[in-house]
Amino acid sequence: MAQMKISRGVRLKNPLGLKATVLLAAVLFSLAAFAQQMPKRAVIHAGKLLDVKTGSTLSDQAIVIEGDKIVSVGPMSSAKLTGNEQRIELGDATILPGLIDAHTHLTFDPQFGYESLAISVPREALIGAKNARVTLQAGITTVRNVGADGYADVALRDAINAGDVPGPRMLVSGPPLGITGGHCDNNLLPSEYHAVGDGVADGVEQVQHKVRENIKYGADLIKVCATGGVLSKGDDPNASQYTLEEMKAIVADAHRLGRKVAAHAHGAQGVIWASEAGVDSVEHGHLMNDEAIATLKKNGTYLVPTLYLIDWQREHAAQANLPSFLKAKMELVSQSAKNNAKKAFAAGVKIGMGTDAAVYPHGLNAHELEVYVQLGMTPLQAIQTATINDADVLGLKDKVGTLEPGKWADIIAVDGDPLHDITTLQHVKFVMKGGEVVKNEYAK
């Protein structure tokens, strides 16, 4: 019989033999390693589940999750469980897909005019880490970040993906493209400073170079300023900025390189040219006319209206502390923005939910949906803008936007019924992103 040494000066007989012992140890080690590699399983059980495709509310539902993906969705009584799942009991809550915001600026806070000059790019990234956490806690599990200085949004996205900081899944644009002196340039300093925005490019050749440069440094999409804006000095929100030819060049290069294009546009001409150039979404559209709305409809271009910022600015004028040269432009767009959005809704223009969070504090994103309902959408239609529609806007239809097997386990829960009271989505009590629980007020 072989012997096995277990302590100094002591030997025991080993009935298995040395080779068998080594083999058994190897098998046990392999099993332990395999167990560590197996994706963990969880089951969420809730009283109600909102199917955002059909508008049906299903009772006593279970979502089985393996790793970061949904495995099955259905009645708790028919869920195929192994008994080893983490059980997440949400009582009578309503579960639905994590919300998507197609227009955020996580690396910015509501700091306007000359105050913004004091913010460095490293400081922006740290501001973004704070706002990413707040946004995720509010139930926004995916965002499209459309504009940041110095690729701070690329750094933030990568930090979230690495698990360094909590935050929503991000698609980022890097610096937005704009003309010299336009909305996306730096117009706050006199000529001796020679200040130029990171994304400034003029002419077809330059805009092609800038598209390629942004992609080189990590952009998931391209953001372009097609008209003047509100929170910028010296430009007119009604005036188109890039020419149709320049925007066509931007879109052609971006699409050829697998990136979508979002166009900031307030005035009618800029909206029309952006849509005719083939952009995937027009942001704002606050000053567009009937022709611009018809063009969006004809081309199937998404409109991302960003409307709650108007209410917030009016209700918190003192807190907003806008410089006088910005107040006048904010009032200009506020006079027609909601009416134009209502016309677009009625015309059947495709709508994605976006907030422009940073014009007001982050975490209030779901207030945007309440405005859509006030302008004629049903609660279900409003919810679809922040789920199914935004998943399409971002090019992530096969990954997010609905609770279906194979999609990422991005799940939120609220008290009550959002189909009867859309404001319940302003008080999200449970958040899961990619199979990880990041908020659970139902836990006992």
Residue-wise pLDDT for 110-135, tens only, equals: 888 788 888 899 999 999 999 999 99
Is position 291 within any domain? yes
Domain boundary among 359, 377, 394: 394
Is position 26 within any domain? no
**What local confidence, expressed as pLDDT, does residue 117 receive?**
86
pLDDT tens, 216-267?
A: 999 999 999 999 999 889 899 999 999 999 999 999 999 999 999 999 999 9
Is position 28 within any domain? no
Percent of the chain with pLDDT over 90: 79
Looking at 294-343, which runs of residues are DSSP E strands? 302-304
Residues 290 and 192 in one domain: yes
Distance CA 165, CA 158 (A): 10
Highest mean pLDDT out of 79-93, 187-201, 222-236, 427-441: 427-441
Mean pLDDT, the chain, integer: 92
Q: How far is CA 140 from the centre of its chain?
A: 7
67 pLDDT higher than 90: yes
Distance CA 352, CA 253 (A): 24
**What local confidence, expressed as pLDDT, does residue 427 receive?**
98
Q: What is the mean pLDDT of residues 49-59?
A: 97
Decide if 53 is catalytic: no
Distance CA 301, CA 299 (A): 5
30 pLDDT higher than 60: no
176 DSSP 8-state letter: P
Angle at 202 between CA 200 and CA 206, to 5 degrees: 90
Residues 421 and 341 in one domain: no
Is position 19 within any domain? no
Distance CA 67, CA 42 (A): 8
Written as six digits, the tokens of 137 are 């806690």
Q: What is the mean pLDDT of residues 366-388?
A: 98
**What local confidence, expressed as pLDDT, does residue 322 receive?**
83
35 pLDDT higher than 50: no
Q: Which of 48, 153, 220, 223 is catalytic?
A: 223
Residues 264 and 125 in one domain: yes
Is position 9 within any domain? no
Q: How far is CA 413 from the centre of its chain?
A: 18
Give the total number of structural domains in the chain. Answer: 2
39 pLDDT higher than 80: no
Residues 141 and 192 in one domain: yes
What residues does 42 pair with on adjacent strands?
65, 86
321 pLDDT higher than 80: no
**What local confidence, expressed as pLDDT, does residue 326 receive?**
87
Please check whether residue 42 is in contact with residue 435, taking contact to mean a CB–CB distance below 8 angstroms. Answer: yes
**What local confidence, expressed as pLDDT, does residue 34 receive?**
46
Domain boundary among 394, 411, 428: 394
11 pLDDT higher than 80: no
Written as six digits, the tokens of 218 are 């990590």
Q: Which residues of 55-72 are buried (b: 16+ CB within 10 A; e: fewer)?
A: eebbeebbbbbbebebbb
Please check whether residue 413 is in contact with residue 94, taking contact to mean a CB–CB distance below 8 angstroms. Answer: yes
Decide if 223 is catalytic: yes
Q: Which residues of 290-311 are buried (b: 16+ CB within 10 A; e: fewer)?
A: eebbbbbbebebbbbbbbbbbb
Q: What's the CATH code of the domain at 68?
A: 2.30.40.10
**What local confidence, expressed as pLDDT, does residue 10 receive?**
45
Distance CA 130, CA 121 (A): 15
Count the neighbouring beta carbons within 10 Å of the beta carbon of residue 20.
12
pLDDT tens, 130-162?
A: 999 999 999 999 999 999 999 999 999 999 999
Distance CA 196, CA 206 (A): 14
**What local confidence, expressed as pLDDT, does residue 23 receive?**
57
The whole domain housing 88 covers 41-98+403-440
444 pLDDT higher than 50: yes
Q: What is the mean pLDDT of residues 337-363?
A: 97
H or E stretch at 248? helix 244-256
**What local confidence, expressed as pLDDT, does residue 5 receive?**
42
Residues 390 and 272 in one domain: yes
Residues 131 and 253 in one domain: yes
How sure is the predictor about 83, in pLDDT bands with cuts at 50, 70 and 90? confident
Residues 134 and 211 in one domain: yes
Handedness of CA 240, 261, 307, 389 (dihedral sign): positive
Residues 340 and 430 in one domain: no
What residues does 270 pair with on adjacent strands?
none
How sure is the predictor about 12, in pLDDT bands with cuts at 50, 70 and 90? very low
**What local confidence, expressed as pLDDT, does residue 418 receive?**
98
Q: Which of 220, 253, 356, 410 is catalytic?
A: 356
325 pLDDT higher than 60: yes
H or E stretch at 43? strand 41-50
Please check whether residue 144 is in contact with residue 103, taking contact to mean a CB–CB distance below 8 angstroms. Answer: yes
Q: What is the mean pLDDT of residues 209-220?
A: 98
Written as six digits, the tokens of 438 are 């990041």
Burial of 336 (0-12, 13-18, 19+ CB in 10 A): middle
Handedness of CA 106, 107, 113, 115 (dihedral sign): positive
Is position 1 within any domain? no
Q: Describe the crossing of helices 152-161 and 121-137 by its angle, rounded to 10 degrees.
A: 50
Count the neighbouring beta carbons within 10 Å of the beta carbon of residue 79.
17
Q: What is the mean pLDDT of residues 340-349?
A: 98
Residues 182 and 227 in one domain: yes
Residues 87 and 105 in one domain: no
40 DSSP 8-state letter: P
Residues 280 and 428 in one domain: no
Q: What's the CATH code of the domain at 133?
A: 3.20.20.140
41 pLDDT higher than 90: yes
Is position 351 within any domain? yes
Please check whether residue 74 is in contact with residue 62, taking contact to mean a CB–CB distance below 8 angstroms. Answer: yes
Residues 344 and 251 in one domain: yes
Is position 171 within any domain? yes
